[in-house]
Amino acid sequence: MISEIVNTTAICYGEVLWDILPAGPQPGGAPLNVAYHLNKLGVDTSIISKIGDDDKGKKLESLIDNWGIKKHFLQVDKQYPTSEVIAKMSNGNEVSYEIVSPVAWDFIIDPGDLKQKFDPSSYFVYGSLASRNEITRNTLFELLESDAIKVFDINLRPPFIGQELLKALLEKANIVKFNQAELEMVQILFRGSLGNEASQVRFIMETFSIKEVIITKGESGASYYTNGNACHLWGNEVKVNDTIGSGDSFLAAFIASHYLQNSPETTLKNAIAMGAFIATKKGGCPEYELDEYKAFRNQMF
């Protein structure tokens, strides 16, 4: 049941699922990964998603409970199963996904007043994959009319998104996170800049009225553009266990630092360190202590 009042700093919307890995199933889905790390960083976080009325769903719900993520927006579907994704490893640690459909999170509904429950200072985090089904997509666009700070982790998963849908999702965002391949893809789709990164980001900001853009670059670090200013930081090479959830943990640390109104440089340092830290571990939601991350960050920067 949804509570009447939502006291939460971040709300993550979309898919929750089990990643089926060679070593066994791991909880995942970008929204759940982001919520997990936000919660670890001390940010009060809710998840809006849907699980099946099955054992896999009950296990996910139990984990969400144990992690301390608020589940008042978590729905249960009587018809469709809890989502599973077949994750395939290649080149040692690169991951590709076989995303099964339809599943429970394809059918997230809005009781009619969810967006009124969001505080304008809260962060609403969404991606493109949750828009593949009309029901969950319609709910998303209803929630994007809220006054929350809207954070779009573009996370393109062809063939689940087209040009018109991507345009609509970008136009609702206040902050957008791209990796370098996604930035290039958006330039191609919308006939944007073929110049350097700065001109490509300028095209994004001007075309879609976006105030803040983040570009992740793996071990090469990241860039953060806002209001004509740019911050660029290099990362460090680390011993990668797998890359699952690394970008999601980066975004969580970025939001946590953004909420605290840290400087762009500090915000990027925190995010880059978290992404690298999680890449040294297995799965998108590995066990760790906050002090372990802080020690890693202090050693990295």
Query: Can you give the three-state secondary structure of the chain, one letter per residue?
Result: CCCCCCCCCEEEECCCEEEEECCEEEEECHHHHHHHHHHHCCCCEEEEEEEECCHHHHHHHHHHHHHCCECCCEEEECCCCCEEEEEEEECCCEEEEEECCCCHHHHCCCCCCCHHHCCCCCEEEEECHHHCCHHHHHHHHHHCCCCCEEEEECCCCCCCCCHHHHHHHHHCCCEEEEEHHHHHHHHHHCCCCCCCHHHHHHHHHHHHCCCEEEEECHHHCEEEEECCEEEEECCCCCCCCCCCCHHHHHHHHHHHHHHCCCCHHHHHHHHHHHHHHHHCCCCCCCCCCHHHHHHHHHHHC
Q: Is residue 276 one of the residues assigned to a domain?
A: yes
Q: Is residue 1 domain-resident?
A: no
Answer whether residue 128 is part of any domain: yes
Q: How confident is the model at residue 95, as a pLDDT?
A: 64
- Residue 119 is part of which domain span? 10-300
3 falls within a domain? no
Whole-number pLDDT of residue 99: 82
Number of domains in the chain: 1
Q: CATH code at 111?
A: 3.40.1190.20
Low-confidence ranges of the chain (pLDDT < 50): 1-5
**Has residue 4 been placed in a domain?**
no
Give the model's pLDDT for residue 156.
81
Domain assignment present for 48: yes
pLDDT score for 169? 97
| Residue 2 counted as domain residue | no
Predicted pLDDT at 5? 40
User: Does any domain span residue 176?
Assistant: yes
pLDDT of residue 219: 87
